[in-house]
Structure 1
Amino acid sequence: MREHDAVSCPAVFVAAPASGQGKTTVTSALARMLRRQGRVVRVFKTGPDYLDPRVLAQASGQPVDQLDLWMAGEAYCRQRLFEAAREADLILVEGAMGLFDGEPSSADLAALFGLPMVIVMDVKGMAQTAAALVAGLAGFRDDVRIAGLIANACGSARHRELIEAALPATVPLLAAVPRDPALALPERHLGLVQAEEIRDDLEARFDAGAEALAAEGLAEALLALPPVAFTPALTEASAPPAWLAGRTIAVARDAAFSFIYQANLDLLERMGAALRFFSPLADQALPACDALWLPGGYPELHAAGLAANAALRDDLQRAFEDDLPILAECGGLLYCLETLTDQDGETHAMLGLLPGAGAMRGRRGCQGMQTAELPEGPVRGHAHHRSQASDTPAPIAFGRRQRHPAPGEAIYRERGLTASYLHLFFPDNPAAVARLFGAAAVEADVSRFDQTLDQTPDQTKECHA
């Protein structure tokens, strides 16, 4: 087989009528079931999600990339699916929200790549109505194929029989997952609990879910689906130049700072950067570096520990005074402020690189897809937070929302520091990212994927507060 020939592989898009139906629980159980059978399963997550992919990666034993038609573009998604198909026995793509929600939606992605969709539905409190809902979903669009239903939180064998008997003949009941708290995945205020915090507990839940699905014969049903043909989108000529060659970027990564797209790390390395990871919680010194990245995470859960690490705070403050390029995203922004008030109302000293105070604000928050309008060039990304920053300086720019005229997230710049609530997707504009991290010369403001971005419809899930 030549490197750029089409590759066929069984693939399934795991979707649901709404959030909270158990998509990640079922997808992780599916991945673990196939892994236990000695198969290679590659899993993708739709949308700008940091937490679910790490859970899915632990379940599958394989890296998990995000697929998002607006943020990443069609070519990026097509290439990632093609590369996965070259090594996988089965590809799983987990959707976001309801399958028709957003523009582009999960259904848009499934239709574009010809992926059959499996509906996961929490059937607690209904029986024949579940079948009616599935029938409506199956008939809503003629370019989407619904391959079957996985009934989640099924109460009994009789409950299963009632649902199965009412389903249309074209949508079989593929499995019924029992109503069992031991299968559900733990959550907190921004979504699932981070996989690294509960690794052993997750292992037990994955294995229990895998056994429940294996008993239903689900692996055989999915592997028997007609394979999907995947074609490549990129060539070697599409790769960005080594704009960051010779530069070392220090990346904060620990329990407080973990919202990192693997695609971002991969791009930095492809552009020639050497990455050195450090822990603002545990390390006493900053690694030698030419630039810094403080990504998002949960600094509000570790504010006391961050405040106590005075030695590293001193190093970071010196880096700022030396005008090193620093990118601080969401949780990184909070860390750069003067203080942070945690969920218990305790206020802690932070880095003080940027005037202002951060504080949690209960269940109110903001999320949505936005373009960061940076001096280096626009970069697409998203916001998702339940905190607020006050008494900050005047921003240099705002994020641009996709379907609403109100200004998006504020973007601040002090010396070499660029800080915002926005989480950036670096592959959208490699040239701008290279400039952001101090590249001396960038030839042109081009994206690897600009041939598709301008043709992709906008996402609608925005926060207008």
Structure 2
Amino acid sequence: MVNPTTRAARATRAIHATRAKVKCPALFFCAPASGQGKTTITAGIARYHRNRGLDVRVFKTGPDYLDPLILERACGAPVTQIDLWMVGEAECKHILYQAACEADLILFEGAMGLFDGAPSSADLAEYFGIPIAIVMDARAMAQTFGAIALGLATHRPRLQIAGVIANALAGERHQQLISESMPRQVALLGCVGRHPDIALPERHLGLVHPDEVADIDQRLDALAEVMAQSGLTKIPDRVEFADHDIAEPEMLLGGSTIGIAKDDAFSFIYAANIKLLEQMGATCVYFSPLNDRAIPAVDALWLPGGYPELHHQKLSSNDAMRRQVKKFHASGKKILAECGGMLYLMNSLTDVPGERAEMMAVLPGDGVMRERGGCQGMQIAPLPQGELRAHAHHRTRCENTMQPIAFGKRLRHSAPGEPIYQTDNITASYLHFYFPSNPKAIAKLLS
């Protein structure tokens, strides 16, 4: 239950919000690289405060689908992506301002390393003046820990570095060595030991979907207590957030119904994409290519990415759904297919062990999983309907495809990006599109 003091604080912020500026405690969790434990730390702290009745909002930087699902489960509120390029500065301001008006605490999880990418997590933290907690895996370090912490903390003087969190410590002696290595200029916020029994499981492309982890809530509650024991649950300093007016989208999809594939095979869906479709007047309905026998009565299909390669035999054996997809395609209604959704429409999909399964065969091509490699990163999709901001993140290759109509444009590299395929009624690519970057283009693709 939320205490009266918290309610009073929210009411005060609501009054001051009319001035288009509001303050809320906020902290940004970053790291020197991927795999340092940012999601675990962020989720544990979010869960701790949520369990004590606070309204906690969490944001994930960059294009990520799986971490937000874990963070959403931890804090009990929707988790949206935030990125100065993909989402845009104005929309970022508006989103954070709204969160600050309602929440008791805002947490951010960075992507990759603190300074990786353009824009990076450091760029976002600096833009909004959010203090940074640097999460560092100390597994293979002792005294060197302090030197790396000092370098990260002082590399860009304009950043507000709250301190460093030492993660994955082996025991008391290890913690002592880490503590002794810390320079006076950098605070050691807390030390977290190794807890393999409550670690968040992973697979290729990232963490395992929380719905597939039977004891996910018990793990998150246990992580919350670990954070408390590690001294990491102090409420951070307040940050001021200013509003930015955002125009409401036009009703470009009024009266239409969009069918969206959503199950264990297709789950890479931005909440912002759904919100935009609904703001443009569309009704969104969901169906499962894995388990359902029929597609709902809809005007267009959106097949998002996910893990079809983990379920390709079951997708293939659902004969009723295969007939439905082919019938829908033959009707001429629009289909938008991203990454795993595109593979689902092709002739076949082969997993890492080499097991092949027949797919829908309405788009030329054969998908093949790779043990290593793949593609990731932000790209612009130059579609005939208009440019969309997007990103790629996959570990398959496609063979025997049709001629692409265009290729994605990489932000910092001249090589062609992901191919984009388009027929009379199918638009397909490895790219995951961020719909709010061009609502009119999305309306054309689905209307």
Length-normalised TM-score, structure 1? 0.91
Aligned partner of residue 252 in structure 2, secondary structure = coil
Change over 3 Å in CA distance of 1:4–1:418 after alignment to 2 = farther
- Name the structure 2 match of 1:14: 29
- Give the counterpart of 2:261 among 252, 261, 265: 252
Which blocks of at least 5 consecutive residues in structure 1 are unaligned? Answer: 439-465
Aligned partner of residue 258 in structure 1, secondary structure = strand
- Give the counterpart of 2:372 among 354, 357, 363: 363
Task: Work out the CA distance in 1 between the residues paired with 2:111 and 2:261.
Answer: 27
Q: Is the 8 A contact 1:189 1:363 kept in 2?
A: no
Say yes or no: does 1:64 pair with 2:79: yes
> CA deviation digits over 1:244-290, x for unaligned, max 9?
00000000000000000000000000000000100001111100011
Say yes or no: does 1:195 pair with 2:210: yes
- Name the structure 2 match of 1:154: 169
Task: Work out the CA distance in 1 between the residues paired with 2:440 and 2:278.
Answer: 14
Task: Work out the CA distance in 2 between the residues paired with 1:37 and 1:149.
Answer: 24
> CA deviation digits over 1:366-425, x for unaligned, max 9?
111111111100001101111111101111111111122221111111220001000000
- Give the counterpart of 1:327 among 315, 331, 336: 336
- Name the structure 2 match of 1:208: 222
- Give the counterpart of 1:137 among 152, 155, 161: 152
Q: CA deviation at 1:226?
A: 2.6
Q: Structure 1 stretch 312-321 or stretch 327-336: which is displaced more?
A: 312-321
- Name the structure 2 match of 1:219: 233
Q: CA deviation at 1:337?
A: 0.3
Change over 3 Å in CA distance of 1:4–1:324 after alignment to 2 = farther
Letter in 2 for 1:216: S
- Give the counterpart of 2:143 among 128, 151, 155: 128
Task: Work out the CA distance in 2 between the residues paired with 1:361 and 1:134.
Answer: 36
- Name the structure 1 match of 2:305: 296
Q: CA deviation at 1:3?
A: 4.6
Task: Work out the CA distance in 1 between the residues paired with 2:39 and 2:109.
Answer: 7
- Give the counterpart of 1:233 among 223, 226, 244: 244
Letter in 2 for 1:57: E
Q: Is the 8 A contact 2:259 2:302 kept in 1?
A: yes
Pairing 1:60-459 to 2, within 5 Å after superposition = 60-198=75-213, 200-220=214-234, 223=235, 225-235=236-246, 238-438=247-447
- Name the structure 1 match of 2:10: none
Letter in 1 for 2:104: D
Q: Quick one: higher RCO (CA 8 Å, sep 6+), 1 or 2?
A: 1
Say yes or no: does 1:48 pair with 2:57: no
Letter in 1 for 2:128: F
Letter in 2 for 1:294: L
Task: Work out the CA distance in 2 between the residues paired with 1:340 and 1:56.
Answer: 31
Q: CA deviation at 1:164?
A: 2.2
Q: Is the 8 A contact 1:164 1:172 kept in 2?
A: no
Regions of 4+ moved over 6 Å: none
Q: Is the 8 A contact 1:25 1:183 kept in 2?
A: no
Aligned partner of residue 159 in structure 2, secondary structure = coil
Letter in 2 for 1:339: S
Q: CA deviation at 1:231?
A: 1.0
Task: Work out the CA distance in 1 between the residues paired with 2:237 and 2:293.
Answer: 55
Which blocks of at least 5 consecutive residues in structure 2 are unaligned? Answer: 1-14
- Name the structure 1 match of 2:8: none
Identity across aligned pairs (percent)? 56
Task: Work out the CA distance in 1 between the residues paired with 2:335 and 2:26.
Answer: 40
Task: Work out the CA distance in 2 between the residues paired with 1:13 and 1:318.
Answer: 48
Aligned partner of residue 66 in structure 1, secondary structure = strand
Q: Is the 8 A contact 2:150 2:185 kept in 1?
A: no
Task: Work out the CA distance in 1 between the residues paired with 2:347 and 2:181.
Answer: 60
Q: CA deviation at 1:4?
A: 5.9
> CA deviation digits over 1:165-195, x for unaligned, max 9?
3323332211111112123211111111111
Aligned partner of residue 288 in structure 1, secondary structure = coil
Q: Structure 1 stretch 1-10 or stretch 337-346: which is displaced more?
A: 1-10
Q: Structure 1 stretch 38-47 or stretch 209-218: which is displaced more?
A: 209-218
Task: Work out the CA distance in 2 between the residues paired with 1:396 and 1:144.
Answer: 43
Letter in 2 for 1:397: A
CA RMSD of aligned residues (A): 1.2
Letter in 1 for 2:194: R
Task: Work out the CA distance in 2 between the residues paired with 1:3 and 1:329.
Answer: 40
Task: Work out the CA distance in 2 between the residues paired with 1:182 and 1:205.
Answer: 8
Change over 3 Å in CA distance of 1:210–1:432 after alignment to 2 = same
Change over 3 Å in CA distance of 1:348–1:108 after alignment to 2 = same
> CA deviation digits over 1:303-341, x for unaligned, max 9?
111111111111111111111111000000100101111
